[in-house]
Structure 1
Amino acid sequence: MDTTSAPSREQLRQAPKVLLHDHLDGGLRPRTVVELADSTGYDGLPTTDVDELGQWFADAADSGSLEKYLETFAHTCGVMQTEDALARVAAEAVEDLADDGVVYAELRYAPELFVERGLSLDAVVKAVTDGVTEGERKARAKGRGIRARQLLCAMRQHARASEIAELTVRHRDTGVAGFDIAGPEAGYPPTRNLDAFEYMRSNNGHFTIHAGEAFGLASIWEAIQHCGAERLGHGVRIADDLKISADGEVQLGRLASFVRDTRIPLELCPSSNVQTGAAPSIAEHPFGLLAKLRFRVTVNTDNRLMSGCSMSSEFAALVDAFGYDWADLQWFTINAMKSAFLDFDQRLDVINNVIKPGYAGLMA
């Protein structure tokens, strides 16, 4: 691509974007963390200075270890233990994403992490649903349309996956789009939660699985072949099944071929993957090769607070690293919308009436 015609940061912010992998408890505004800590009595923050706290989250997450990265969530979850806090965080997340040009988003969180002060799982979901609705309303008032849905996560190291799967089905007509498992991969393979995935399948429910981030191909294989994952949360380690010869020819292993042939979406999160050690840098991230090989790649933020990122900044980083143009960015966006846990007619509506016209205007 001619660098003189590279998309500007402001143009990237205006481009319609689709986000499939964004953790609600990883996207708080630093000021909100401080204010909620004060109002809820949470006294565990490392600092109550807003700017210092934002930098602390980024520094603490930038460890090269998924386990260390996950420790930062003790503070965000600590301030999200009331209905008002959950609703506020959800509303602000939707509003922030809409301000960044996101037109469809799936916000994921683990309801079991927000019951320390006595909330029921259903009350947690209801509070988030109220917040999402309010965020959509505020976005519309500013002329920014966004559709937001929820993904309910079970923590793979706990034993509540079936309970969370049932919760997902119970709320699927009021904004919950699907199910996921999250948390440390090593030692907690997805097959530990087979009952939950079987329940989702028997109830015609959608689910994605965190796999192939901190752990390798075995995690991806189990998620797909044993559990039936429709999408892979991260899935970056599928690159381990690619062999590159001295002359640059790429040979796909059988698992990589299966993932590509069956169009299983990869919920790739470039900045987060660098922070947790899944990739050495954006420029060396497997995203470039996977896109070139025509895997169904999608661009995601994972945790906007910890990574200090947005969808626009992730797009910008990929443009800088791989020279992508508007056609590439539109392709990544349509990939994501095709892969959304949303009714087919609604997906087509967003693609044909929002995404394509939006990019056509930018490419004109």
Structure 2
Amino acid sequence: MRDRDDEDDDLLLWGDVDARTLPKVSLHDHLDGGLRPATVVELADEAGVELPEGDADALADWFHDQADSGSLVDYLKTFDLTTAVMQTEPALTRVAREFVLDLAADGVAWGEVRWAPEQHLAKGLTLDAAVEAVQAGLEQGVDEARRGGWDLRVGQLVTAMRHADRGLEIAELAVRHRDRGVVGFDIAGAEAGFLPARHRVAFDYLAEHWFPVTVHAGEAAGLDSIRSALLDGRALRLGHGVRIAEDLTVREDAGRSYVTVGRLARWVRDRQVPLELSPSSNLQTGAIEAWGDDLADHPFDLLFQLGFKVTVNTDNRLMSDTSLSRELVLLADAFDYDLDDLLTFQLNAAESAFLPLEEREALADRIASGFEAID
């Protein structure tokens, strides 16, 4: 991810429209995957963390190259470096503040920022202090963005690492901060071999407290992971969820395509369970290797055409060298989407946000008005 001013204009233009001017909703965006390269360099120097590259642009290239591995496990190794420089209150606050300013520059009106507090305790922070430090940075970023003329709101998605044993503790942390910036819960990390069922006690606790849940599922693992996210996690959204397409059977006959929708996929589609799809990231991690290795092979369009509730996300801006505007332009180019299609994706996201109904409706109105002004 380069500085916003250095992004190639052709990657942000949809026709003659600068995609950054389109109001957007970001549902799947990791705090530790969205640092500015220059910030990583500065924080690493302060913390005594050794970097593979000392120059910000070279470091940005290193992150992207390392993440472009075709494996979620290898992709996740890059986070060892970003979390290493996010171990103090000042560092967490700075990263969160800059994260919000980058969302604002990308035209985001509502952003959900997910991160795992348990990964930021190496220098003595408590879980609560870590959440409070991030919240302080988010609020600073919102205030600064508003002073600069862009009104946005953000909320934290507190995440538990699925391979660890702190699920209930992190669920309790999330609920404890529900009126102080935290809007939902997630589990993340290496997906294969770690079904959501592993954290069933945490999900039971969250359900008892009526607390919203999204679950990483259907990225590095398939239908069993999605099934467990829905049954054990009571997930209201699927983090990625792209491999729900494994439950679709496509056949060609006389030049026409016919799709059989499996029982699980039908449940997800018919109940309009939102899919937090992240096109560039899905390519990097090999999540779509069953369908191909190019964006045009991504089952995004198939899912969209079949009526699934698809949303567009960045996942990790640093690792994928991307923004939400860029992801929209890439999809439009790959599948010949028009402005109404891009609006549909944003309205899907607005309707799926972890906000009260009235606020979701107001957000959808803002999105629609913003698109109409451009159209």
State the match for 1:297 in structure 2: 310
State the match for 2:20 in structure 1: 13
State the match for 1:3 in structure 2: none
Deviation of 1:41 after TM superposition, in Å, equals 2.1
Whole-Å separation in 1 of the counterparts to 2:44 and 2:323:
24
Identity value in percent: 55
The 5-angstrom pairing of residues 223-302 of structure 1 reads 223-247=229-253, 248-279=257-288, 280-302=293-315
Whole-Å separation in 2 of the counterparts to 1:283 and 1:135:
35
> Which runs of 4 or more aligned residues in structure 1 lie more than 4 Å from their structure 2 counterparts after TM superposition?
none
State the match for 2:348 in structure 1: 335
Picking from 61, 69, 77, the partner of 1:63 is 69
Change over 3 Å in CA distance of 1:10–1:28 after alignment to 2: farther
Picking from 364, 372, 375, the partner of 1:351 is 364
Secondary structure of the residue aligned to 2:186 is strand
Pair 1:42-2:49 in alignment = yes
Q: Which moved more, 1:113-122 or 1:8-17?
A: 8-17
Give, as a single letter, the amino acid of the residue that structure 2 aligns with 1:357.
S
Conservation of the 8 A alpha-carbon contact between 1:62 and 1:69: yes
The 5-angstrom pairing of residues 124-163 of structure 1 reads 124-163=130-169
Deviation of 1:47 after TM superposition, in Å, equals 1.4
Conservation of the 8 A alpha-carbon contact between 1:191 and 1:222: yes
Give, as a single letter, the amino acid of the residue that structure 2 aligns with 1:197.
F
Deviation of 1:344 after TM superposition, in Å, equals 1.1
Secondary structure of the residue aligned to 2:145 is helix
State the match for 2:219 in structure 1: 213
Whole-Å separation in 2 of the counterparts to 1:358 and 1:21:
22
Whole-Å separation in 2 of the counterparts to 1:231 and 1:332:
15
Conservation of the 8 A alpha-carbon contact between 2:213 and 2:233: no
Picking from 165, 178, 185, the partner of 1:179 is 185
Whole-Å separation in 2 of the counterparts to 1:130 and 1:313:
28
Deviation of 1:225 after TM superposition, in Å, equals 2.0
Pair 1:79-2:92 in alignment = no
Deviation of 1:132 after TM superposition, in Å, equals 0.3
Q: Deviations over 1:150-191 (max 9, x none)?
A: 001100010000000000000010110010000011111110
State the match for 1:100 in structure 2: 106
Deviation of 1:290 after TM superposition, in Å, equals 0.4
Whole-Å separation in 2 of the counterparts to 1:119 and 1:48:
27
Deviation of 1:10 after TM superposition, in Å, equals 4.9
Deviation of 1:149 after TM superposition, in Å, equals 0.4
Give, as a single letter, the amino acid of the residue that structure 1 aligns with 2:334.
A
Give, as a single letter, the amino acid of the residue that structure 1 aligns with 2:43.
L
Give, as a single letter, the amino acid of the residue that structure 1 aligns with 2:77.
E
Conservation of the 8 A alpha-carbon contact between 1:11 and 1:362: no
Query: TM-score, normalised on structure 2?
Result: 0.94
Secondary structure of the residue aligned to 1:64 is coil
Deviation of 1:346 after TM superposition, in Å, equals 1.1
Picking from 10, 30, 37, the partner of 1:30 is 37
Whole-Å separation in 2 of the counterparts to 1:356 and 1:267:
20
Give, as a single letter, the amino acid of the residue that structure 1 aligns with 2:76.
L
Secondary structure of the residue aligned to 1:119 is coil
Deviation of 1:8 after TM superposition, in Å, equals 3.4
Conservation of the 8 A alpha-carbon contact between 1:269 and 1:301: yes
Whole-Å separation in 1 of the counterparts to 2:302 and 2:181:
35
Q: Deviations over 1:109-166 (max 9, x none)?
A: 0000000000000000000000000010111011111110000110001000000000
Whole-Å separation in 1 of the counterparts to 2:74 and 2:142:
33
- Aligned residue pair count: 356
Whole-Å separation in 2 of the counterparts to 1:218 and 1:243:
17
- Give the gaps of 5 or more residues in structure 1: 1-5
